[in-house]
Amino acid sequence: MFNFEIKNEGQISGLFLSGGVTSFIQAANFIQQLPYGRNANKYDLTTIFSDQCGTCSTKHAVLKTLADENQIAGLYLMLGIYKMNASNTASVARVLSGFSLDYIPEAHCYLRYGNTVLDYTKNSIKPFDFLPDLLEELEISPGQITDYKVNYHKQFLSKWLLDNPQLLYNVEKFWTIREKCILALAN
C-alpha cells in the first residue's frame, strides 16, 4: 500500500500536520471522509480544509501536492474521461434518463501509483468503478485542475458530439446537462 510519513515541507503538509495527520494514509482517509462538494476557490487548494469538502479534482490535487512537497516520486495525478452512467454513478440516473442519454463523457481526477488507481473522491463501502468505462486518461499537474481540465473536457465533448450526430445537443447544452449531473452527485 502506498504510504509515507509527512514532513513539514510545505503548506499542505503543514495543514495536515497541524490537524494531527502524520502519514499519507491518514491524509487520504481524511480527504475521503470529506463530503463531495465544490470548493469556494478551487485555485487555492487550502480551501479544502476550510470548506471541509472537495471534488475529485481538489481532493486528489491536495494529495498529489502533499506527495510533491515530501519529494515522493511515482504518484501521478490523472485526468480521465469516462462514460458516466447509471451503473457506475447511480445518482445521475434520473438526470440522464430525463435527457434520453445512456451516459455522458465526464472528466474525473484520481491518482495512479504504478498500475494501481487510488480514488479518494467519496467515502463508500462500494468503490467507485469507472475503469471499465474509461475512454482516455492523461497525467496532469495540480495546477491543471481548473481551466485546463474544463477546456480539455469541453474539447473532448465537442469532438464526441461530432462523432455522435444522433445526439441533438451542442456543447453548451451538453455542459448544462453535465452540471445537473454534478449537482446530483453532491446529494
Q: How many CB atoms lie within 10 A of CB 146?
A: 15
- pLDDT for 62 equals 98
Write out pLDDT tens, residues 118-177: 999 987 645 567 888 999 999 999 999 999 999 999 999 999 999 999 988 899 999 999
d(CA 74, CA 84): 28
- pLDDT for 151 equals 96
pTM: 0.92
d(CA 53, CA 68): 22
| Alpha-carbon distance values, 4 to 1, 13, 27, 139, 142 (Å) | 10, 12, 10, 22, 19
Give me 72's grid cell: 515522493
Percent of the chain residues past pLDDT 70, beyond the cut: 97
Rounded mean pLDDT, 75-89: 94
- pLDDT for 182 equals 86
pLDDT at 36 over 80: yes
Give me 97's grid cell: 434518463
d(CA 26, CA 115): 22
Count Cβ atoms within 10 A of the Cβ of residue 63 and give its class: 0-12 exposed, 13-18 middle, 19 or more buried. buried
- pLDDT for 4 equals 97
Write out pLDDT tens, residues 9-25: 899 999 999 999 999 99
> What is the rounded end-to-end Cα distance, in angstroms, of the chain?
31
Average pLDDT, the chain: 93
- pLDDT for 84 equals 94
- pLDDT for 8 equals 80
- pLDDT for 82 equals 95
- pLDDT for 127 equals 55
- pLDDT for 124 equals 64
Angle at 123 between CA 15 and CA 127, to 5 degrees: 130
| Alpha-carbon distance values, 116 to 2, 71, 119 (Å) | 10, 20, 10
Contact 77, 65 (CB under 8 A): no
- pLDDT for 107 equals 95
